[in-house]
Structure 1
Amino acid sequence: MRIASMEQYLSRRESGFRSWGDEDFVMRRIYTTMNMFNSYHANLRPDEAGRHTGAIFNLEFNADGNVLVAATERKCVLVFDAITQKEIVKVPDAHTDSVNCIKFFDERLFATGSDDFTVALWDLRNMREKLRVLHGHSNWVKNIEYSSKDKLLVSSGFDGSIFTWDIASHTEQGLISQRVFHASGLMRCRISPTGDKLVLCTSGGYIMIIHHLDLTTLHKDLSGFRPGIYRLMQLGDQYIPQAAKYDHVFSRRQKKNRVELVTDFPEQNDAEMIMALQIHPHCRCMLTRNVSCDEQSEWTCIHDINEEVPTAESEQEDEVKLKRRHPSSTSSRAASTSETPPSTLEGSEVTSARPTRRVTRGLHLFRYNPTSGRGGSAAVARYLNDRPESFIPDIWAAEVTVQERATRQNRAREANNQVSGYNFVYAISSGVLPLRQAAAAAAVSQRQPTTGTDCPPSTEEATAERSSSTSSTSSTSISTNGTTVRVEIGTRRLVPFVATTAPELKANGHSILVNAKKLLYYASETNTKPGFIKEPGFSADGRIICSPYGNGVRLLGYSADCCDYPSYKTFDEVKQSPRQLVELAHITEHQDVVLCAKFSPREPLLVTGCNSGEVTWYRPNL
């Protein structure tokens, strides 16, 4: 029987009685009564608020929960006493550009990452100068982690690189560092509290989990692996030897640094840019915030982070797949020599590489205009018939430059048409498929729809833009190795990353790994100021998610009664049918959009920072 009031709960507790649901009742009472009680700018004039700090990009407590550090847009680092909420230190020029992230690696030492491409080390006992400045990144540093297991600081940035730093080493050249991994479109990386997992989120619509993490061998174990290429192979359902030769990193036999890709999202959420990432305090799940391809919606999602439990049958299947694809080391080397593509596709980037014996022509591009009127598939088939040896469109990709997308969307709105997102899509011949021209042409012609609308087939997990357009007729000039061909293309729906069917692939025994379903919970968010990254966070017990929502925050739970993480039985049900997170409280106290939220690790104390530079403190009102 549930208790009716806090007084009854305390009375029962004093008497030594406990009933099922007591803890849920107390936690719901605590979190649903959270109210603002203090603000950093409460005693400042309105014209002074945020003038010296700018936006608050990140907030971080130390392990004891008595110190809070804020990273700000205008190069400042602010240090607060979490007990009195008073500012105790202000470093006005902590970096030469915006400060993005903060990470404590003990009670007094912490690191900051900045848009000036550096990581700085600080000691709370002496904030007048930095302990050390770490150089290595070639773009904005957006994330810092610390592995207590390996005693290594881990940094990542928009250059796609992940570096490890041995903070205990002191050489004339600085700390001993190593670039252990690279992924195009890297947004955030997090290390689990237990130190056995590394999670990456990207602007390509997928999350990558590295199980049984060993940072000392990560570079060796994943050398040459490009998750963007592998994801492209999955999306196109098209065998790419350059990607498939790294199947072993997904194998359950991989003892260290085993890779798993997470690609399932809510049905209405065509996730593209996964901006924020957090890991449950007890490493039960991971929390992300993403922007959909149309840039009109944002979503908070919770995915299972635990490794799928292998069975004897699944291990046997893995072994069969490996033998089928790589019957011997000699044949594997021969395949990689003869079928290595002349280019590497990493996310949206196209980088040329040395030509191989099989292919010497490099990439061929078809540029399609989705606003044109007729003959998309037929035009490709006709072109194949005319040029049987020069072009096989086995990969479809889209331009993904954010600036170009925004420019095109504005242009489309000004023209009062229905086009949104990308205006062009490229069909790419990677040269990796030994297909005959007739088979390829037949495969393309089979894609011709019977409804009269020519378009590439849809892909449920496509990570690039999906848009619709009105029917009109136009022609597009394309260039393939110096030869310009004019093709008229028509489509009403633009779906990138679609490959032509190649029956020979299955006949040859090639198989492509399918990612496990990991989505558990989700919630639709506001899209206020879409150019800013909003950082959600877990409460210290992992029951509550604090998510920025407009000029405030929402406290979300797994259920209305504020229960703990689902039990094993409920967990299986949720995994079969993901559920919406339940809103327990909605707090609006800021004058501008909230960018970050952080719970204290020791008590039910919540702190938020907003775009105007305000820092606000909340606690329960029992």
Structure 2
Amino acid sequence: LSPQRRSGEEEEYKTGTPKSLPALLPPKPSPVFPSSACAPPPPPPPLESESSWGAGGRTGGGGGDNVFGWLKDRCLGRGVFVDPCRDNFRTMTSLYNSINPADSLNLSTKTHGAVFNLEYSPDGSVLTVACEQTEVLLFDPVSSKHIKTLSEAHEDCVNNIRFLDNRLFATCSDDTTIALWDLRKLNSKVCTLHGHSSWVKNIEYDTNTRLLVTSGFDGNVIIWDTNRCTEDGCPYKKFFHTRFLMRMRLTPDCSKMLISTSSGYLLILHDLDLTKSLEVGSYPILRARRSTSSSVITNTDTVSSPSRSGSPCHHSDSNHSLEKHTSQSLRREGGSPRNSVEALTPEVPGEKQRGNCITSLQLHPKGWATLLRCSSNTDDQEWTCVYEFQEAAPVRPASPRCSLRLTHYIEEANVGRGYIKELCFSPDGRMVSSPHGYGIRLLGFDTQCSELVDCLPKEASCLQEIRSLYSHSDVVLTTKFSPTHCQIASGCLSGRVSLYQPKF
């Protein structure tokens, strides 16, 4: 072998790394050779990803910021090289600065009524519209063409639409029913689900277990097993009950359930197990102050009416002994109970002594935060608030491990009193679209549309307005981002649906 080949093999044997691969450690000094003819070829230039890893402090020549930036991104699951989900949406987010009204779908208020909800299919090929007058409309969001009208989809207002996959979707109504539909056969329903005794307002879906979760103004959260669905319906069971229920959401990983109430309280069910029903009085409840640093665990008979002040409850001797027994048994089992409930009073800007109603509830696509639309009990103020989930070690084995911290907020236009305004996160979680009077506002955590984890403030700060879009002649009630295209849809009280796209 030539000296050049032999020296390369020796170096590879010593370092344990093929010489052709880029080294992760600083290169060692090259050995001194007797002549330039025997010297090894110069090392290849470093890849772009080695010298500049992008945002988050991963640039430069290997300082301390590089290490901490790399560790942070590793904890968040960000790839070293190009992350298609992250980078595609980062580019898309920059386009929202030039977004403008692109088209409008003018619906007849006599036949359709107000627009209560908008929902895109997961592949972005279909836009569904839930109307006040018992109908569901389907559109092609790219061409803005009408596809189908589901006449008399329900017998009362259609409140919410949820896609189970790219072809199946569910609708719920004030007629107390839920309907399943198939895009391949829209002439009739797949089935109708009966179980609620009052208006059904919310639908969620667990893709892992294929369980449908609904909530209504009867205070019930009901689980439907779509694995055993027939033309007559699906097997169901009541999972949870509380008074003043407004909205219910599942985190993206379905590990938590959040429930908002008209009395200003937010309930969080931890370590969620949808296969086990919760009987009133059979689970521990955490009651916290506005400051999440002080909290206690109690066992009560119901979560229907916690103390309005939000202060911890005082234990009786029996409750204290029961708590001690529960903690000891859990410590023996080495875990915390499934479906444990945390009752919180989210901090809202403005006068802290005034009560608030949490009318709308959304979750960050990555499960980092929750988005609330709150209104005062007198309906003279509305706020959009972002709360960060704060995971922490439990004080006791029976304690839930999460609390909320207000990070961002903004005051909304106080119009359309009595109507619920549905807001949403963008698919990458960098922006918020919120109904604002006769239009919508695009809000960011900062002016650069950074991710929440990259710009967390020490104290609550104001959301930054990125863009305002006004194209309606009535109060906007709902808005939605497309999951695949740079497009936003909004619907108003007079039945008009507007689409927004970038224009240059």
Shorter chain as normaliser: what TM range? Answer: 0.7 to 0.9
- Which of residues 408, 412, 417 in structure 2 aligns to 1:521? 408
Match of 2:380 in 1: 296
Match of 1:158 in 2: 217
Judge conservation of contact 1:263–1:515 (CA < 8 Å) in 2: no
- So what's the TM-score if we normalise by structure 2? 0.73
Match of 1:608 in 2: 490
Match of 1:266 in 2: 348
What secondary structure does 1:102 align onto? strand
Give, in angstroms, the shift of residue 17 of structure 1. Answer: 7.6
Q: Which segment is superposed worse, 210-219 or 591-600?
A: 210-219
Judge conservation of contact 1:137–1:157 (CA < 8 Å) in 2: yes
For residues 586 and 17 of structure 1, what CA distance do their matches in structure 2 show?
A: 35
For residues 128 and 281 of structure 1, what CA distance do their matches in structure 2 show?
A: 33
For residues 25 and 125 of structure 1, what CA distance do their matches in structure 2 show?
A: 34
How big is each residue's C-alpha offset from its partner over 1:232-272, in whole Å with a ceiling of 9 and x where there is no partner?
584485557999868969x9952422322331323415452
- Which of residues 102, 112, 115 in structure 1 aligns to 2:161? 102
Match of 1:547 in 2: 434
Written as runs of structure 1 = structure 2, the 5 A alignment for 1:461-610 is 516-567=403-454, 570-571=455-456, 574=457, 576-610=458-492
Give, in angstroms, the shift of residue 26 of structure 1. Answer: 4.6
Alpha carbons of 1:131 and 1:580: their partners in 2 closer, same or farther (altered >3 Å)?
Answer: same
Match of 2:393 in 1: 310
- Which of residues 63, 67, 79 in structure 1 aligns to 2:122? 63
Alpha carbons of 1:241 and 1:39: their partners in 2 closer, same or farther (altered >3 Å)?
Answer: farther
Give, in angstroms, the shift of residue 62 of structure 1. Answer: 1.1
**Which residue identity lines up with residue 480 of structure 2 in the other structure?**
K
Match of 1:29 in 2: 94
How big is each residue's C-alpha offset from its partner over 1:120-176, in whole Å with a ceiling of 9 and x where there is no partner?
111111111111111111100000111112211011000000100011214696311
Judge conservation of contact 2:310–2:345 (CA < 8 Å) in 1: no
How big is each residue's C-alpha offset from its partner over 1:529-588, in whole Å with a ceiling of 9 and x where there is no partner?
111000000111110000000000011100112111223xx53xx3x4111111111111
Match of 1:256 in 2: 338
What secondary structure does 2:96 align onto? helix
Alignment of 1:187 onto 2:246: yes
The share of aligned pairs that are identical, in percent, is 37
Which structure 1 residue ranges, 5 or more long, are not aligned? 1-12, 42-47, 323-512
Judge conservation of contact 1:301–1:519 (CA < 8 Å) in 2: yes
For residues 246 and 122 of structure 1, what CA distance do their matches in structure 2 show?
A: 46
- Which of residues 218, 228, 253 in structure 2 aligns to 1:169? 228
Written as runs of structure 1 = structure 2, the 5 A alignment for 1:91-490 is 91-170=150-229, 174-219=233-278, 223=282, 226-232=302-308, 234-235=310-311, 237=313, 239=315, 253-268=335-350, 270-306=354-390, 308-310=391-393, 314-315=395-396
Match of 1:403 in 2: none
The size of the alignment, in residue pairs, is 399
How big is each residue's C-alpha offset from its partner over 1:165-199, in whole Å with a ceiling of 9 and x where there is no partner?
01121469631100010010000101112111111
Give, in angstroms, the shift of residue 222 of structure 1. Answer: 6.8
How big is each residue's C-alpha offset from its partner over 1:194-234, in whole Å with a ceiling of 9 and x where there is no partner?
11111100011011111221100142697475223444584
Written as runs of structure 1 = structure 2, the 5 A alignment for 1:76-91 is 76-91=135-150
Which structure 2 residue ranges, 5 or more long, are not aligned? 1-47, 57-85, 284-300
What secondary structure does 1:266 align onto? coil
Judge conservation of contact 2:371–2:386 (CA < 8 Å) in 1: yes
**Which residue identity lines up with residue 588 of structure 1 in the other structure?**
Y
For residues 233 and 529 of structure 1, what CA distance do their matches in structure 2 show?
A: 29
What secondary structure does 1:282 align onto? coil
For residues 54 and 402 of structure 2, what CA distance do their matches in structure 1 show?
A: 41
Judge conservation of contact 2:210–2:225 (CA < 8 Å) in 1: yes
Judge conservation of contact 1:265–1:271 (CA < 8 Å) in 2: no
**Which residue identity lines up with residue 186 of structure 2 in the other structure?**
M
For residues 168 and 86 of structure 1, what CA distance do their matches in structure 2 show?
A: 34
How big is each residue's C-alpha offset from its partner over 1:318-352, in whole Å with a ceiling of 9 and x where there is no partner?
68xx9xxxxxxxxxxxxxxxxxxxxxxxxxxxxxx
Match of 1:399 in 2: none
Alpha carbons of 1:123 and 1:230: their partners in 2 closer, same or farther (altered >3 Å)?
Answer: same
Judge conservation of contact 1:221–1:257 (CA < 8 Å) in 2: no
Judge conservation of contact 1:181–1:222 (CA < 8 Å) in 2: no
For residues 562 and 170 of structure 1, what CA distance do their matches in structure 2 show?
A: 43
Q: Cα RMSD over matched residues? A: 3.1
**Which residue identity lines up with residue 347 of structure 2 in the other structure?**
F
For residues 552 and 246 of structure 1, what CA distance do their matches in structure 2 show?
A: 51
**Which residue identity lines up with residue 501 of structure 2 in the other structure?**
R
For residues 195 and 25 of structure 1, what CA distance do their matches in structure 2 show?
A: 26
For residues 431 and 54 of structure 2, what CA distance do their matches in structure 1 show?
A: 22
Judge conservation of contact 1:289–1:298 (CA < 8 Å) in 2: yes
Alpha carbons of 1:149 and 1:560: their partners in 2 closer, same or farther (altered >3 Å)?
Answer: same
Judge conservation of contact 1:233–1:239 (CA < 8 Å) in 2: no
**Which residue identity lines up with residue 195 of structure 2 in the other structure?**
G
For residues 303 and 133 of structure 2, what CA distance do their matches in structure 1 show?
A: 35
Name the one with the larger helix percent.
1
**Which residue identity lines up with residue 112 of structure 1 in the other structure?**
T
For residues 369 and 99 of structure 2, what CA distance do their matches in structure 1 show?
A: 24
Match of 1:335 in 2: none
Runs of 4 or more, structure 1, over 6 Å off, are 21-25, 240-249
Judge conservation of contact 1:234–1:514 (CA < 8 Å) in 2: no
Give, in angstroms, the shift of residue 290 of structure 1. Answer: 1.1
**Which residue identity lines up with residue 111 of structure 1 in the other structure?**
A
Judge conservation of contact 2:392–2:401 (CA < 8 Å) in 1: no
Judge conservation of contact 2:92–2:486 (CA < 8 Å) in 1: no
What secondary structure does 2:94 align onto? helix
What secondary structure does 1:32 align onto? helix
Match of 1:39 in 2: 104
For residues 172 and 128 of structure 1, what CA distance do their matches in structure 2 show?
A: 14
For residues 90 and 177 of structure 2, what CA distance do their matches in structure 1 show?
A: 46
Judge conservation of contact 2:243–2:304 (CA < 8 Å) in 1: yes
Give, in angstroms, the shift of residue 50 of structure 1. Answer: 2.6
Match of 1:52 in 2: 111
Judge conservation of contact 1:233–1:243 (CA < 8 Å) in 2: no
For residues 317 and 424 of structure 2, what CA distance do their matches in structure 1 show?
A: 40
